[in-house]
A = this chain, B = another copy of it.
C-alpha cells in the first residue's frame, strides 16, 4: 500500500540555494532532505514542497509531502515509530535543517495545492549598529523608520490585487492576482517585524513588498505610491528587493 506523509521542517537558509532541487548544485534544502530521507527509507524519495523559497531565505515551518511505494516494507517499518524515525532523519541532516513533525495524510493530500495561505515575516534591525548575533537573520536599516507611514501603506496593499508590479515573475498568461489578508508591523527588541498573511506569494513578492515599505519608512516614497504600483503593475515603480536573509517563512496554512 502507498502512504502519504507530511513533514514540517525549519531551516537556516544562509548556506543554501533555496528550496528547489537544481541540476547545477547540491546545496538546496530539497536535495539534502531527499538524500537523508532516501537513506532512512532505503529507497528513492521525491519531496513536494509547499512552495519554493529563494536562496538565503529561512523557514520556521515549511511543509512538504512524500509518497512511499507500494509494498515497501522498510518504509512502513521505519515510519511506524514517528519519533524514532525523526530522530534517525535529523541525525542524517546537517544542523541547519531540522524536521519537527511527521504526519500520515490521506493519499490525496498535496503540500502545495492544499496550502490555503502562508505567513512570511521580514526582520529589520533598526539599531544604529547591527547586532552580531542576528546578523544572518535581519536586514540592517539603521535609524528610526516612519512606522505609522509604513502601516498606512501596508493597509493599502491588503486585499485582492494584481501584484504584477511586486514580482519578478514575467510568466505570460499566469495570473498575478493574489490576496493579502493582513500585514502587521511590530517593533520588538531592536527589530521591526513585518508580517505578511496571504493566499500565496509570487516570485520575490514579499521581498519587494518589504523593500517598498522600507522606502516608505525612510521617507523616500509616499505611502500612497503603492496604489500606483498596484494599478500600473510596473516593477520599476516599486521599491528595492530587500535582502533574502531577513525573510522567514513562518507558517503554511492548510
Contacts and interface: CB of A to CB of B under 8 A. Distances in A.
Interface of A: 10-12, 58, 86, 90, 95-98, 100, 129-133, 135, 137
Copies of the chain in the assembly = 2
Contact of A96 (B12, B98, B135): B135
A129 B96 CA distance: 12
Contacts of A95: 130, 132, 135
A133 B100 contact: no
B98 A130 contact: yes
B58 A129 contact: no
A141 B41 CA distance: 28
A129 B12 contact: no
Which 4 A-B pairs rank lowest in CB-CB distance, beginning with the nearest? A10-B132, A12-B132, A98-B132, A95-B135
A196 to B, nearest CB: 19
Given A12-B135, A86-B129, A96-B132, 17 more contacts: A10-B131, A10-B133, A11-B132, A12-B132, A58-B132, A90-B129, A95-B130, A95-B132, A95-B135, A96-B135, A97-B132, A98-B129, A98-B130, A98-B131, A98-B132, A100-B129, A133-B137
Contacts of A12: 132-133, 135
Nearest to A101: B129
A131 B97 CA distance: 9
Nearest to A99: B129
A159 B230 CA distance: 65
A119 to B, nearest CB: 16
A11 B95 CA distance: 22
6 contacts: A12-B133, A12-B135, A95-B132, A96-B132, A97-B132, A98-B131
Contacts of A100: 129
Contacts of A130: 95, 98
A125 to B, nearest CB: 11
Contacts of A10: 131-133
Contact of A133 (B58, B90, B129, B132): B58
Nearest to A127: B100
Contacts of A97: 132
Contacts of A86: 129
